[in-house]
A and B are shown apart, each in its own frame.
Chain A
Amino acid sequence: MDGRRAIPHIAADSCKGCGLCLSVCPENVLAIEAAQVNLKGYFPVSVKAEENCIGCLSCALICPDVVFTIERIDDHLEGRDE
């Protein structure tokens, strides 16, 4: 069982690759891969370690382009006791 609490969803084509979300994520969930280019021509952020997300919302709060939607995993609903 992993420690995953939340899932960050990324609207990659809205991302401008500014890196602010990476700089504030406490769990190193996010990455920018120079291999990918989005519709706007930026290198978008992607999720590299989804299992580490604690749902702190820091990425979503600092993103100037509202790229993130965050879902919390409800342990009791998912049958995952602490």
Chain B
Amino acid sequence: MSVIFKKTTGLTEAATHYCPGCTHGIAHRLVGEALEELGLLGDTIGCASVGCSIFSYNYFNVDMIECSHGRAPAVATGIKRTVPDKTVFTYQGDGDLAAIGTAEIVHAAHRGENITVIFINNAIYGMTGGQMAPTTLPGQKATTAPAGRIAEFSGRPLKMSEMLAEVPGAAYVERVSLHHPKYIRKAKKAILKGFTCQLAKGGFAMVELLSTCPTGWGLDPVEAMEWLEANMIPYYPLGVLKTPEEV
């Protein structure tokens, strides 16, 4: 008998506060596993953001700091520049990274900060009750778009990965999805690469994880995964948008 899957030591024993079926839990596990496999636990500083993952400092088994809304890349910049031998990452939702924190993420990429950004795109503001985000899809319902997002009125959703890949200072940008085990395996590889890029002093790395918010979307967890696959992937295509040659 041999154990082929067990909980990573990259996560604490704390039970998460996330809703049933919320993919934040999957993303947490992948980050924890990646840090464990790279031997970085004990040498990593994580920057929690504001959103449902605000308590992620209780769940990652590394040193964590809580940042004000959208400012995690600025906090990570300060930490990484002060203690460059530490591995530094941010964990940010789309409200945090693509709305209030747009300037911080663009300029962290612009400066080529040697940090790893884990970007959870669930196309909504989960924590505050399901308001429209810059990433909410056209036609998608939100409390602030009860009839669905109207592109002519609110604009078409921001594609942060495409945008940041165009920034010269960005080294590695990939979009993956958490809707199915096969894709979750790929997401893990991308997260590992996001961290090895930093270890190789490659510069700014971001992995965007297409995620669900069953509660905010008003769907059960399984339907939410199906909705992600059918609606998010066509608008937010998966794949590597930018990669350094040496990683």
Contact = CB atoms under 8 A, between A and B. Distances in A.
Given A14-B15, A63-B25, 10 more contacts: A7-B1, A19-B220, A60-B5, A61-B26, A61-B185, A62-B26, A64-B16, A65-B15, A65-B16, A66-B25
Contacts, number: 81
Given A57-B181, A62-B181, A65-B15, A18 B221 contact: yes
Interface of B: 1-8, 11, 15-16, 18-26, 29, 180-181, 184-185, 214, 220-222, 225
Nearest to A57: B5
A69 B25 contact: no
Contacts of A18: 20-21, 214, 221
A56 to B, nearest CB: 8
Interface residues of A, number: 32
Given A71-B3, A72-B2, A62 B16 contact: no
B21 A20 contact: yes
A60 B6 CA distance: 8
30 contacts: A6-B4, A14-B15, A16-B21, A18-B20, A18-B221, A19-B220, A20-B221, A20-B225, A55-B4, A57-B5, A61-B181, A62-B180, A62-B181, A63-B25, A64-B21, A64-B23, A64-B24, A64-B26, A64-B29, A66-B11, A68-B5, A69-B3, A71-B1, A71-B2, A71-B3, A71-B4, A72-B1, A72-B2, A74-B1, A74-B2
A36 interface: no
A20 to B, nearest CB: 5
Contacts of B220: 19
Given A19-B221, A24-B181, A70 B25 contact: no
A37 B150 CA distance: 42
B7 A66 contact: yes
Nearest to B24: A64
Interface of A: 6-7, 14, 16-20, 23-24, 40, 42, 55-58, 60-66, 68-74, 77-78
Contact of A17 (B7, B15, B20): B20
A23 B222 contact: yes
